[in-house]
Structure 1
């Protein structure tokens, strides 16, 4: 289902009042913590506030606003109506109003760290995951929220696919084989494509990143494998749950890869009960999964409202309420299901698939940063050496340096999304009058239509057609300076602007600027608010890596040397990893 939001008068509260309300909440961390501690003592004594509440005058008129994750809001609304009518043991002490509000909306409204549509004020918050509580506790001032240590429902993450695809699965799926983690290994090697909801706004999406990251672990080259996984996931990210589910219908009768959606059990159940689209089946990944835990969180310092919130919390964790929650496709707090709802014929299991730990708040932050940084568009100018030395053969390959470089760059194109802006220069000496470089393909998005084809196709043809200039020298330093100045002057703030240099590595142009002068000019040209980084990849056994390393370092870039064209994928992923490391720093 898509994103749903309730409405109330609070949705129209002025921004000054909203800010003032947030300041009051932030200033009440000690009171909230003290109340939470008091509740713990009461629970430990077997007391839920019944005696105290029944002795308070006006308790029945206490309003309690609850902001709940949209998928659980309907059953909570029905339960609140029951609670308000007093049709439960002990009577009532509040008038509860439940509104469905996206968990990310509430979190970002308190932290200001992400997109929000407002209307998220409440005294109680029931997000879909403790992940969002960690985000708020880390980024908001003081203790803006206090968890009661209670969940009202649970729903583990599962894989959802069409029934036929589930039946065809030959290998048990786990988080370490769900997504492509090797550069240029080709998505064709996987018979399925994993689809996730945008992790910036979705617990299931964010948890998927954490699960994949944990599966990759701390092994050698783990960061580049994780970047490859993120790139694969970004090719099939959905804005919301509803958009993700449409993929099942779109690919059901096509020859495309089988779709695997990462959703909660309850979301899979909701889709199956709608009766529209192809039949679906649930697959549980081997080795455990993450569980949405729907924590009950306090956001008020009013003693009477706090006590009312405690009574509603006790009601929701009671036997009758938990039965209603199970009937709506959730697991109860003890992980029990209703087998007549989550049925075996749809692939559901009564036993929990195994609990994997919640990522730390720092891990959560790093995952969001990595995802956002990779989403930032790419603007890349590639300059390729066509000097005479590029005609020499690379030992053990049967290919010339030019052929190796062209093949590597062509492979590298496949790593970039269609909206990446890319262009191509070639260089030797005096290719265009006194200039050592020549523009081959202007910088344009890869999906731009050009002469009946696309920019991607134009670049591929241009790279394939590169020919070494016989007896041509390598005007490396002059070309780098000219290209760097061009990229700085045409800088795009919404992109990661990069100059990629592919060469056999040695400048041998006698009329060229010196290395020391080049470094000074690069430092003068570099603008912190318009950063352009140089990435240098050199080929051949005679490469002197030091000059390119110094050039790259002057622009916060990186230099790599290789003779094996199959390594280009890992090199490009190292470039992406560098982007993320710079962001985290």
Structure 2
């Protein structure tokens, strides 16, 4: 974030690899093409080339989809290029800009076919990473970052002054603690599942708490997520609409109005321009670094673009790096270039010295940290719908040497402990499996998946019924019928999919598939991939218990559904692994 402030694409002919595995194909030839296109454009503006008549009929069109915050600036830059007859290889440059939320574009690129635009400018490269998680063959080629904006915490003046703004500096963990303890401040944000600023800030809050060696750091982040989940908005612009007007007693006392908000500097700049004195925000720039929105200029499906289209797209990118365009971006509240931010911009956004607005920004969070935060957020704001599927084959009766209990006994105790982590709104059910448990079937449904808080009559709840069912599990004569059970459970979960909930399967087994009459592993994996629906995801979380379990087998099966496989030596580790696996699956 802020790593490619130069508008020039990287001069290399090797793909740029990142841990998230995106396809990037900028090559030396692209740089050479860009140089030619840039030279032609400059020559035309200087009158060295004579373009007679209107070139509109022969204009090269480039469609750009951009994050709603930067789309107005890009639209203005595109119009300026038309007004000045900026050309690419002698043809007028006709750039058309459409505003669309980055999370929607990312999901579309991940699940649908080739889009009808050539350039995508999201507000953060984390959306480019997210788009690359699917099976789409659409190549995404980030060519450089055209602007940036730090993520901060804004407060209405009375709230900011009450905690020492602007002289007092805080870390993210300290600011969040102030805003979430008691009723002193009401903190809001845009939904981290849909907002880069929300997700980056929540990730940074976790890192800040951990760095402070706070033994309750995980608890603090979870508590913050829980509070935010009750005060989130669909987008950054909607979140700004929740800010209380500082001079109004009724606004300040309105519990639906926020006094503090996670917000980018650019969003605060735009808000303050229209808010009037009583509705403006003051910005705290956390002393442990502000994560950055970095606006990557991304070519979409570049290998399928014509030479003219790719040259024209890159011509527009270089135009955005010129002095006039940088000034235009700053006029819209964005930082551009590598210089310190203009004091005029910072002041208009609500920043003041000695807040560290010009100090080094936070390092970009690692992909695993983003994934973990998103997973934690998912299971915080969405109720879960899980079916636990437990191996009861005869080998589950073997003793765990360190405990003097059977594998199944320890597994049952871990499941009961894990159950305590779920709320009454979560839905959980239970299957058992071995071989030939129910006629020719290797599995049996013991408890229907339903809300833990549901009353089942005679004073019994679903939670109590499930706890009793876990306790009643016993090893059965038979072997491990893993493949047929996995497929049947996956089909059932898809059939009973609950929209708006986190749907998943948790399979616990101590061995590899031992049913000679079942389908093969390759056939199972192929069928799971065929059935998987990105719009109705049901990740399978498979946990292999003990020395006889096949980690590679459960991993391959689980990943075919977007889930994950794990191997543990002691069933007592199961509670932690289940919860971590659910968080990881939620992040995907």
TM-score by length of 2: 0.55
- 2-side partners of 1:263 and 1:366: how far apart? 21
Answer whether contact 1:133 1:145 (CA < 8 A) is retained.
Answer: no
Deviation at 1:86, TM superposition (A): 4.4
Displacement of 1:580: 8.1
From 375, 383, 387, give the equivalent of 1:380: 387
SS in 1 for 2:289: coil
CA separation of 1:372 and 1:532: change in aligned 2, threshold 3 A = same
Task: Tell me how far apart the structure 2 counterparts of residues 239 and 215 of structure 1 sit (CA, whole Å).
Answer: 25
Determine the structure 1 residue equivalent to 2:449: 443
Q: Is 2:320 the partner of 1:318? A: no
Deviations 1:439-497 (A, max 9, x none): 996421457x647999xx9345557899989xxxx724479989999886453135321
Q: State the alpha-carbon separation in 1 of the partners of residues 447 and 242 from structure 2.
A: 36
1:240 is matched with 235
Displacement of 1:366: 6.4
Question: Structure 1: where are the runs of 5+ without partners?
Answer: 1-25, 181-185, 386-393, 395-400, 427-436, 502-514, 538-544
Listed as ranges, the gaps of 5+ residues in structure 2 are 1-23, 245-249, 393-402, 404-409, 433-442, 498-502, 529-538, 558-564
Q: Which of 37, 55, 76 is the equivalent residue of 1:61?
A: 55
Could you say what secondary structure the match of 1:330 adopts?
coil
Match of 2:14 in 1: none
Distance 1:57 1:176, change over 3 A: same
* Aligned with 1:102 (options 100, 103, 119): 100
CA distance in 2, matches of 1:364, 1:217: 12
CA distance in 2, matches of 1:403, 1:254: 47
State the Cα distance separating 1:357 from its structure 2 match: 3.9
Match status 1:288 vs 2:292: no
Give the conservation status (yes or no) of the 8 Å contact 2:151–2:264: yes
Contact 1:103–1:128 at 8 Å: present in 2 too? no
Matched, 1:275 2:275: yes
Deviations 1:25-66 (A, max 9, x none): x999675342235579x69xxx94457874142596254546
Note if contact 2:169-2:286 (Cα within 8 Å) is conserved in structure 1: yes
Q: Structure 2 matches for 1:251-262, cutoff 5 A?
A: 253=253, 261-262=261-262
1:423 to 416, 425, 429: 429
Preserved contact between residue 383 and residue 425 of structure 1 (Cα < 8 Å): yes
1:218, CA displacement in angstroms? 11
The CA distance in 1 between the partners of 2:238 and 2:293, in whole Å, is 20
Q: TM-score, normalised by structure 1?
A: 0.56
Q: What is the Cα deviation at residue 112 of structure 1?
A: 3.6
Q: Which residue of 1 aligns with 2:70?
A: 72
Q: Does 1:458 align with 2:465?
A: no
RMSD: 6.7
1:155 aligned residue: 149
The offset of 1:176, in angstroms, is 6.2
Q: Name the count of aligned residue pairs.
A: 477
Contact 1:80/1:98, CA 8 A, preserved across alignment: yes
In the TM superposition, what whole-angstrom CA distance separates every residue of 1:94-146 from its partner, at most 9, and x where no partner exists? 4644423337489659x94246995x525x65443455567789999797657
Distance in 2 of aligned mates of 1:190 and 1:172 = 18
Cα 1:203–1:557 shift into 2, 3 Å: closer
**Structure 2: how far apart are the matches of 1:439 and 1:187?**
44
| Alignment equivalent of 2:333, drawn from 329, 347, 354 | 329
Give, in whole Å, the separation in 2 of the partners of 1:311 and 1:535: 50
Q: Offset at 1:325?
A: 3.2
Could you tell me which residue of structure 2 aligns to residue 497 of structure 1? 505
d(CA) in 1 for partners of 2:265, 2:461: 45
Q: Give distance in 2, aligned partners of 1:172 and 1:284.
A: 8
Q: CA 1:574/1:191 → structure 2, altered by over 3 Å: closer, same or farther?
A: farther
Residues in 2 aligned to 1:572 and 1:80: alpha-carbon distance in whole angstroms: 51
Following TM superposition, by how much is the alpha carbon of 1:80 offset from its aligned partner in structure 2, in angstroms? 4.3
